[in-house]
């Protein structure tokens, strides 16, 4: 299996001009943050370790007549049998390498034995930054009706050709425009996406009628001025979009999953609304962070033109991974 992974990794290797690998075997370590489990179901995670740069490859795949690129991290050691896959979707004007460094999930992938891929959105200029067609936004991807759902599905298939991926544990997570795209995947690709973890996003497609329950954990700061918790056009938003209120989309997905009414509790700056158990062992949790802006909580700010500093006392990546792994599809 190791030789197969190595051969396929070489075959898929594409080094993007703006996304060069380090020659060192280390990248950023996971941040030291306070984490609090949002759900009654607990998964014990090994602490994140420093991910190895040699485990990163950059690939290209053609979908719908477009060449699409991605960053892939396969741990140096994988457990026997099938393994989870996490698909990380960057925010608007971001890109896969940037989001991977911001969210630090590769350190958890290395220590806990799962694969993570960070695809790149449609480029918006000469630089590496891109956008996703999440429906209501964003940018050229939405205006041109780019089929990003097909891209993600093809990417899951490509990775599944090289590694033994557990179809019951394929998850998407994203920030801002990437969070909006994650909601779209839950609505339109529920046979492949088992659960989503979103930060600072909203549902951007209508209707949303998944034929299978999809778990969702939504994290949002009440000081977000890019995509406000109440919806609308944020003072710092660049998209020019009047966004639907995030809680409406969350409630729609939770209802589609047969979730019960919410139970709410407060833990410091966190207000945690839990709707579980839902159908087929799924769950829905909405976490509001007092004083938190648009940035990824607990992340390293590589690019943050309008997001503000990340809220430091909540490790969104660890909590989303823990939640999603606790809710595989039966």
pLDDT at 109 (0 to 100): 98
Reported pTM:
0.88
Q: Specify whether the CB–CB gap between 27 and 53 falls below 8 A.
A: yes
3-state secondary structure at position 188: helix
Secondary structure (DSSP) of 149-166: HHHHHHHHHHHHHHS-EE
Confidence check: pLDDT of 39 > 70: no
pLDDT at 306 (0 to 100): 58
Confidence check: pLDDT of 178 > 80: yes
Q: Mention every residue, 6+ apart, whose C-beta is less than 8 A from residue 17.
A: none
Q: Specify whether the CB–CB gap between 24 and 52 falls below 8 A.
A: no
Confidence band, pLDDT 50/70/90 cuts, at residue 125:
confident
Three-point CA angle 169, 171, 174, nearest 5° = 165
The Cα 281–Cα 285 span in angstroms is 13
Q: Specify whether the CB–CB gap between 37 and 314 falls below 8 A.
A: no
pLDDT at 1 (0 to 100): 41
The Cα 164–Cα 83 span in angstroms is 6
DSSP state of 183: H
Give me the phi and psi of 313, to 5 degrees please.
Answer: -100, 20
DSSP state of 48: P
Domain boundaries, the chain: 2-14+33-325
Q: Specify whether the CB–CB gap between 296 and 289 falls below 8 A.
A: no
Q: Specify whether the CB–CB gap between 216 and 240 falls below 8 A.
A: no
Confidence check: pLDDT of 82 > 60: yes
Superfamily (CATH H level) for 2-14+33-325: Alpha/Beta hydrolase fold, catalytic domain (3.40.50.1820)
Segment 278-320, tens digit of pLDDT: 999 999 999 999 999 999 999 876 545 456 678 999 999 999 9
Tokens of 166: 């557990």
Q: Specify whether the CB–CB gap between 231 and 242 falls below 8 A.
A: yes
Secondary structure (DSSP) of 249-269: HHHHHHHHTT----EEEEETT
The candidate with the shortest Cα–Cα distance to 241, out of 209, 201, 207, 206, is 201
């Amino acid at each position: 299996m190791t030789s197969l992974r190595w051969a396929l990794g070489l075959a898929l290797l594409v080094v993007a001009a703006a996304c060069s690998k380090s020659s060192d075997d280390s990248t950023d370590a996971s941040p030291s943050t306070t984490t609090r489990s949002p759900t009654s179901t607990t998964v014990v995670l090994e602490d994140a370790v420093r991910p190895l740069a040699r485990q990163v490859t950059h690939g290209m795949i053609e979908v719908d007549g477009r060449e699409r690129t991605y960053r892939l991290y396969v741990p140096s050691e994988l457990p026997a049998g099938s393994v989870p896959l996490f698909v990380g979707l960057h925010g608007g004007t971001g890109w896969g390498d940037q989001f991977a460094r911001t969210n630090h999930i590769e350190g958890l992938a290395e220590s806990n034995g799962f694969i993570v891929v960070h695809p790149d959105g449609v480029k918006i200029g000469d630089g590496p930054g891109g956008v996703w067609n999440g429906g209501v936004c964003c940018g050229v991807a939405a205006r041109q009706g780019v089929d990003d759902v097909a891209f993600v599905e093809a990417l899951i298939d490509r990775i599944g050709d090289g590694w033994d991926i557990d179809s019951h544990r394929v998850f998407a997570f994203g920030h801002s425009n990437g969070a909006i795209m994650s909601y779209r995947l839950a609505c339109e690709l529920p046979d492949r996406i088992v659960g989503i973890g979103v930060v600072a996003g909203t549902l951007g497609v209508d209707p949303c009628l998944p034929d299978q329950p999809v778990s969702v954990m939504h994290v949002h700061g009440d000081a977000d001025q890019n995509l406000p918790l109440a919806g609308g056009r944020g003072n710092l938003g660049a998209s020019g979009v009047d966004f639907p209120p995030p809680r409406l989309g969350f409630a729609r997905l939770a209802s589609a999953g047969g979730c019960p009414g919410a139970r709410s509790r407060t833990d410091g700056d966190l207000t945690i609304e839990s709707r579980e158990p839902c159908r087929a062992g799924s769950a829905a949790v909405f976490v509001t962070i007092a004083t938190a802006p648009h940035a990824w909580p607990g992340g390293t700010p590589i690019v943050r033109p309008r997001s503000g500093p990340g809220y430091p006392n909540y490790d969104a990546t660890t909590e989303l991974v823990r939640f999603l792994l606790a809710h595989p599809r039966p």
